[in-house]
Structure 1
Amino acid sequence: MASTIGVLALQGDVREHVAALEASGAHAVPVRRPRELAAVDGIVIPGGESTTMDKLLHVFELFEPLRDAIAGGLPAYGSCAGMILLANRLEGGVVGQQTLGGLDVTVRRNAFGRQVDSFETDLVVEGVPDSATDPVHAVFIRAPWVEETGPGTQVLATVGSGPAAGRIVAVRERDVVATSFHPEITGDLRLHRMFVQIVTDRG
């Protein structure tokens, strides 16, 4: 039986993530309410605008249930703004901006958008099959990057060249994964398949 994976459906690339998860073998559902969150085996937090998503999480009374679910072991994957929301620590946030936590990392908001500009590049991503010979094409749109990681956080990918060379753009800690980039818009399903497998293995 396929795992049920929710996509936080308050803002951002919701339909794209739902389609990618379905194509990767999961049953994907939008999540807007605590009762919908309670019915999923994993959660995807899409790209969008992190401060708006923070506000909407509180409006829809989802912030605390989602934070508690992730702290309790619910597998989670965040892309772009999702990475910001999953970080324990944030640089460059607006006053009062909160994160859900789940990753022992410091993330710098809008690092690529303001400092290096949005761009595309190919990446080798640990845990993604064949990425050493068939790299993941990564699209960065006003994206964050990871400034530092804690001892329990695994770095999955760094930028290989250019002004952002060496910057950390994909991480994993236990069953929580985050990327600075947007795999849901490129047609490469390998990251979604990896997350579906994480959820399946946990189940």
Structure 2
Amino acid sequence: MPQNLTVGVLALQGGVVEHLNLLRKAAAHIQSSSPESLEGLELAFTEVRTTAQLTQCSALIIPGGESTTMAIVARRLGLLDPLREFVKVQHKPVWGTCAGLVMLAEQASATKQGGQELVGGLDVKVLRNRYGTQMQSFVAGLDLGFLGQGEEPFRAVFIRAPIVEEVNIAAEGGGCLEQGGKGPPVEVLAVYHGGEGQKQAGEGNGKGDIVAVRQGNVFGTSFHPELTNDVRIHVWWLRQVLDAARHGKLVVNGV
């Protein structure tokens, strides 16, 4: 009997359908290019709105949208603590895009009055709305080395996007740490070095803005891959989910 592997998309608000569409395309790509990766596994993709649906998932995407609204709705539905359990205790693969990155951060700045609740999992501090209003949205080419050598730049869509201000904010006890020990450091996977968005937002810090990070089982991007036709990041992440299913945990840096 094949092992069921369900990947969920948190469906409280935001780009849910878009992620599901690209996940299905990513699965088809993997099936055609390396069918052995799926041997013994049966993939399914689903929307997640309840704790019962979350418990059926082996991995989860938290999509773009509005992080404050997501947190409020998640609290009302009783999902915040189950999400924290999913990320921090069960250590299942989780990817957050834009608002999802904010939700997965341990700290956030420029929040609305009174702050907001976060799921956590990434030992980072994020700055919300780094590039201004929705009218100042833009598309920029990013060199994403984690996709492989020789890959063309990824056309990243930035919409009221956050950035990572600080990494490794917690020496111990952070979101992705294994019980009773230290977890892996935060890996910076992509930096945006300016151009249109930087001009709109100001001069910047001269070092570029961190727009993609990974720490253990948690991956976050400031931009919206789901709003493109480029399936490469979804393929990359889904391959990690498949590896995690086979090894019983997410393999990080080949370990």
TM-score, normalising length from structure 2?
0.75
Distance apart, 1:79 and its partner CA: 0.4
Mapped partners of 1:173, 1:126: distance in 2: 16
Partner of 1:189: 231
1:179 aligns with 2:221: yes
Q: Is the 8 A contact 1:129 1:190 kept in 2?
A: no
Query: Which of 60, 64, 67 pairs up with 2:77?
Result: 60
Aligned pairs for 1:1-12 within 5 A = 3-12=5-14
Query: Which of 120, 131, 139 pairs up with 1:101?
Result: 120
Letter in 2 for 1:90: A
Q: Is the 8 A contact 1:93 1:109 kept in 2?
A: yes
- CA 199–133 in structure 1, closer or farther in 2 if over 3 Å, else same: closer
Where 1:139 maps in the other structure, the secondary structure is strand
Query: Which of 192, 196, 217 pairs up with 1:159?
Result: 192
Letter in 2 for 1:102: G
Partner of 1:90: 108
Aligned-pair Cα RMSD in Å: 1.9
Where 2:106 maps in the other structure, the secondary structure is strand
Distance apart, 1:96 and its partner CA: 3.5
Distance apart, 1:41 and its partner CA: 0.6
Distance apart, 1:87 and its partner CA: 0.3
Aligned pairs for 1:12-91 within 5 A = 12-25=14-27, 26-72=43-89, 73-91=91-109
For structure 1, list consecutive stretches of 5 or more residues without a partner in the other structure. none
Distance apart, 1:59 and its partner CA: 1.2
Alignment deviations for residues 41-80 of structure 1 (CA, whole Å, 9 cap, x no partner): 1000000001000000011111110111100201100000
Mapped partners of 2:236, 2:79: distance in 1: 26
Segment of structure 1 superposing worse, 82-91 or 21-30: 21-30
Letter in 2 for 1:180: S
* Runs of 4+ that moved beyond 4 A: none
Mapped partners of 1:3, 1:59: distance in 2: 28
Distance apart, 1:105 and its partner CA: 0.6
Distance apart, 1:194 and its partner CA: 1.4
Percent of residue pairs identical: 42
Point out the structure with max Rg over C-alpha.
2
TM-score, normalising length from structure 1?
0.93
Distance apart, 1:93 and its partner CA: 1.0
Letter in 1 for 2:191: T
- CA 23–3 in structure 1, closer or farther in 2 if over 3 Å, else same: farther
Q: Is the 8 A contact 1:20 1:184 kept in 2?
A: yes
Distance apart, 1:24 and its partner CA: 1.1
Mapped partners of 1:110, 1:161: distance in 2: 15
Aligned residues: 202
Distance apart, 1:199 and its partner CA: 1.1
For structure 2, list consecutive stretches of 5 or more residues without a partner in the other structure. 28-42, 169-183, 199-203, 246-255
Distance apart, 1:3 and its partner CA: 3.0
Where 1:19 maps in the other structure, the secondary structure is helix
